[in-house]
Structure 1
Amino acid sequence: MAAKTRYVLVGVGNRGTTMWGRELLEGWGDTVELVAICDLNRPRAEAARKMIGSSAPIHTDLDDCLSEHRPDLVIVCTRDDTHDDIIVKALEAGADVISEKPMTTAPDKIARIRDAEKRTGRKVDVSFNYRYAPTAAKMKQMLDDGEIGTVTSVDFHWYLDNDHGADYFRRWHAFREHSGSLFVHKATHHFDLLNWYLGSDPESVLAFGELRNYGINGPFRAERCHGCPHASECRYFFDMEADPFLWPLYGAPAEDDGYYRDACVYREEIDIPDTMVASIRYANRVLVSYSLNTYMPVEGHHIAFNGTDGRIELRQFEKQPWETEAADEIKLIRSYPNEIETIEVPHAPGGHYGGDNLMRDMIFRRGNDPLHQRAGSRAGAMSVLTGLAALKSSDEGAEVSVASLLPGLHEAAE
């Protein structure tokens, strides 16, 4: 029997505690062993360890943790702008890395990670779980098989509802110094899907972003939802104390570091857009129209690939005020002859329509990868750079070359 992969979990927020903690041990415990938990906030780490169901030792110092345990793998689930320091230390300690998306938030941080990976010979995986969703895999296969000829353009629009969208503006994500904005933190998923679907690199981006709903647009504000005097009249009031998962993880532990998980969405200092559009030109001449909205009455996305021989179209619902089937319908509309085929793809078990489970299978059970779903540091870098180009473009009102942000990456292999 093969030896288990000994891993350290760094960062025990929601994703770390569930996806890479409790769920990983429950479903893949025959392949992995959690040897330590590392987080700057010890009370939060203790709460997370209990939720995970582990007896792994807790560390608040990463250097000491890596030195003592010498893990095979480090899984990084911390704030986005801290990823590069942790990834580089893990690689230099001889461990492979799985990084939650986005891989990092700035070109110099990307360069540090790529250089450390090359120097150490270790590997970075980026957690792009949407690649693994059955519907995404089916569309990728259809595109690769040439079902609509040569792809010439893409319509891609993502909708976050008032619950999910607002949550980003309660947390550290609301500040570009920590998240790179939602052009990076959230859209890294979407830009990676485009890069993967199209099998090409983005060349240039022209984008616009505005803060129209949250931040300074609020009719009133407070420090946080807990104890807020406007609770009865605020459409975004969030009673975290009533949440049996989030309150133990973020309630009392906030006294340790002052991080409030339920900060006011109307804070005047919020500096990221909540309404975003971008036009992207790819090296293979595909043109993309993209948008991201964060205060919709529905959750999900619409994507359509337009080609010389037809169109592939999907409207995927994640949350909406009506019932939908536990399956997606892909419409394949051929031009010659003019006809339509509807392809139903059932959702698989687990988060992100099964993408979470299928990704963990790929990484820990060493499956074949015919669709190239497993994403390394180059894929992580390219999606981040697309988002940074979009943010820069929206700030400056001009088209931005993606390659200009980190020269040489386009020529580098995965």
Structure 2
Amino acid sequence: MSEDRLTYALVGTGNRGTTMWGSELLAGWADAVDLIAICDTNTMRAERARTMIKSNAPIYDDFGALLTEHKPDTVIVCTRDDNHDDIIVAALEAGCNVISEKPMTTTVEKLARILDAEQRTGKRVDVSFNYRFAPTAHKIKSLIDAGEIGTVTSVDFHWYLDTSHGADYFRRWHAFTEHSGSLFVHKATHHFDLLNWYLGADPVEVKAFGEQRVYGPAGPFRSARCKGCPHSDKCDFYLDLAADDFLDTLYEDPSEVDGYVRDGCVFRPEIDIPDTMSATIKYNSGALVSYSLNTYMPIEGHHLAFNGTKGRIEIRQYEKQPWDTPDHDEILLVKSFGGGVQRIEVPHAPGGHFGGDNIMRDTLFKGREDPLAQRAGSRAGAMSVLTGIAALKSAREGKSIRIADIAPKNLR
């Protein structure tokens, strides 16, 4: 092992851990990192993931045992959202830095635990906000910071998940608030973080709504899972897990170990998270945001517009849709008072999230310069989670929620 490579332990061998932080990381950044241990409570899944990663790192089903036998520089956390805090705190206390998949955690109490441990130990938590690193996001942030549209007064931000990606959240553990905090936390943490970063400001108040319109009890019929479902011939959301070698290998046989199936019925009556969401967010800069998230669209992508005192920045980013789109994004910079419109083309970069994944890994592991502060720490992770917690609380209680009223006292 090269002395100057960063050693890391991977905790959680689901899709993201096995690919983004496993096989892809070792394939593209082997000169910078060395995987020295893998941990998952499901050792069959971990063994299969290790084969996919092409690693010979030892496997553990107990994180404490891993930390006793190894001292990685960094621990990468890819487990279920609601147990991120236990792993992050243990890693920090063992002297490791941490990279956490988003969201950093799911509750105010868990946020406080993580922030306390980071402050006590002097180690660092990074949160995997890869959308910040996409070239288009970089360009938008640069335009805003340069004052091209003056002071941002409001933002329109609408995210669309299609009937494949969106439904997937309701097949898995994400479908339960206990585990994911709802999609206001799990998915929207990406979007709220982008808003916080773009605006360079903190949210102060949230008013939100959330409904179940398609999934969960709203469905016309139900079963435990897609495999063996008597309604498969008439269900638009039926998933044949056996047709996907990657998912089948990683999840089907390993489900015999822990009972976790990857093709849970999207209409299970116990699902308790909304699938249709909207929120209005007020920032300490004075900016007002109109946000929505829909999870059953025929399209995938988002619409984003910044309205300012001197103009507007607008983009419609396409990820999947039933028509052809160019291999670049187009940002419209529209100036007020006859200033005209500038069409700015931003080519898609290679890698996931329009190149954001690769650029983030370069920043974390190869010291790439970061003039726009794209690298996100625990405070950014906490602020995005707090926005989601406030949104869910508002939707359930029917009232506006002030961030200051729910934030942990050790948030700095």
TM-score band by shorter chain is over 0.9
Q: How far 1:368 sits from its partner (Å)? A: 1.4
Scaled by the length of structure 1, the TM-score of the pair is 0.98
For structure 1, the 5+ residue unaligned runs are: none
AA of the residue aligned to 1:72: D
- 1:144-173 superposed Cα distances (whole Å, 9 cap, x missing partner): 000000100000000000000000000000
User: Is residue 128 of structure 2 the alignment partner of residue 127 of structure 1?
Assistant: yes
Secondary structure in 2 aligned to 1:236? coil
Secondary structure in 1 aligned to 2:86? helix
Paired residue total: 411
Q: Is the Cα–Cα contact under 8 Å of residues 109 and 408 in structure 2 kept in the other structure?
A: no
- Partner in structure 2 of residue 108 of structure 1: 109
- Partner in structure 2 of residue 358 of structure 1: 359
Q: How far 1:407 sits from its partner (Å)? A: 4.6
Q: How far 1:219 sits from its partner (Å)? A: 1.1
- Partner in structure 1 of residue 30 of structure 2: 29
For structure 2, the 5+ residue unaligned runs are: none
Supply the distance in 1 between the matched residues of 2:330 and 2:149 (Cα, whole angstroms).
17
Secondary structure in 2 aligned to 1:245? helix
User: Is residue 24 of structure 2 the alignment partner of residue 7 of structure 1?
Assistant: no
User: Is residue 60 of structure 2 the alignment partner of residue 48 of structure 1?
Assistant: no
Q: Say which is worse superposed, 401-410 or 206-215, in terms of deviation.
A: 401-410
AA of the residue aligned to 1:242: A
Secondary structure in 2 aligned to 1:359? helix
User: Is residue 327 of structure 2 the alignment partner of residue 321 of structure 1?
Assistant: no
AA of the residue aligned to 1:193: L
Alignment map for 1:180-219 (pairs within 5 Å): 180-219=181-220
Alignment map for 1:46-195 (pairs within 5 Å): 46-195=47-196
Q: How far 1:404 sits from its partner (Å)? A: 1.1
Q: How far 1:382 sits from its partner (Å)? A: 0.2
AA of the residue aligned to 1:64: A
User: Is residue 368 of structure 2 the alignment partner of residue 367 of structure 1?
Assistant: yes
Supply the distance in 2 between the matched residues of 1:149 and 1:408 (Cα, whole angstroms).
34
Secondary structure in 2 aligned to 1:295? strand
User: Is residue 287 of structure 2 the alignment partner of residue 299 of structure 1?
Assistant: no
- Partner in structure 1 of residue 18 of structure 2: 17
Secondary structure in 1 aligned to 2:115? helix
Scaled by the length of structure 2, the TM-score of the pair is 0.99
Q: How far 1:305 sits from its partner (Å)? A: 0.1
Q: How far 1:367 sits from its partner (Å)? A: 1.6
- 1:170-190 superposed Cα distances (whole Å, 9 cap, x missing partner): 000000000000000000000
User: Is residue 269 of structure 2 the alignment partner of residue 271 of structure 1?
Assistant: no
Supply the distance in 1 between the matched residues of 2:159 and 2:4 (Cα, whole angstroms).
41
AA of the residue aligned to 1:366: G
Supply the distance in 2 between the matched residues of 1:337 and 1:64 (Cα, whole angstroms).
66
- Partner in structure 2 of residue 237 of structure 1: 238
Supply the distance in 1 between the matched residues of 2:225 and 2:277 (Cα, whole angstroms).
26
Q: Is the Cα–Cα contact under 8 Å of residues 11 and 38 in structure 1 kept in the other structure?
A: yes
AA of the residue aligned to 1:199: G
Q: Say which is worse superposed, 221-230 or 373-382, in terms of deviation.
A: 221-230
Supply the distance in 2 between the matched residues of 1:336 and 1:71 (Cα, whole angstroms).
57
- What is the CA RMSD across the aligned residues, in angstroms? 0.8
Supply the distance in 1 between the matched residues of 2:84 and 2:234 (Cα, whole angstroms).
38
Secondary structure in 2 aligned to 1:398? coil
AA of the residue aligned to 1:90: A
Q: How far 1:227 sits from its partner (Å)? A: 1.1
Supply the distance in 2 between the matched residues of 1:274 and 1:381 (Cα, whole angstroms).
23
Q: Is the Cα–Cα contact under 8 Å of residues 108 and 408 in structure 2 kept in the other structure?
A: no
Q: Is the Cα–Cα contact under 8 Å of residues 216 and 268 in structure 2 kept in the other structure?
A: yes
Supply the distance in 1 between the matched residues of 2:253 and 2:312 (Cα, whole angstroms).
52
Secondary structure in 2 aligned to 1:232? helix
Q: Is the Cα–Cα contact under 8 Å of residues 206 and 280 in structure 1 kept in the other structure?
A: yes
Q: Is the Cα–Cα contact under 8 Å of residues 159 and 301 in structure 2 kept in the other structure?
A: yes
Q: Is the Cα–Cα contact under 8 Å of residues 403 and 409 in structure 1 kept in the other structure?
A: no
Q: How far 1:409 sits from its partner (Å)? A: 5.6
Supply the distance in 2 between the matched residues of 1:26 and 1:363 (Cα, whole angstroms).
16
AA of the residue aligned to 1:78: T
- 1:211-251 superposed Cα distances (whole Å, 9 cap, x missing partner): 00000111111110011111111000000111010001000
Q: How far 1:2 sits from its partner (Å)? A: 5.7
Secondary structure in 1 aligned to 2:10? strand
Flag as ranges the 4+ runs of structure 1 deviating above 6 A: none
- 1:15-71 superposed Cα distances (whole Å, 9 cap, x missing partner): 000000000000000010000100000100011000000011100000000110111
User: Is residue 341 of structure 2 the alignment partner of residue 340 of structure 1?
Assistant: yes
Q: How far 1:338 sits from its partner (Å)? A: 3.4
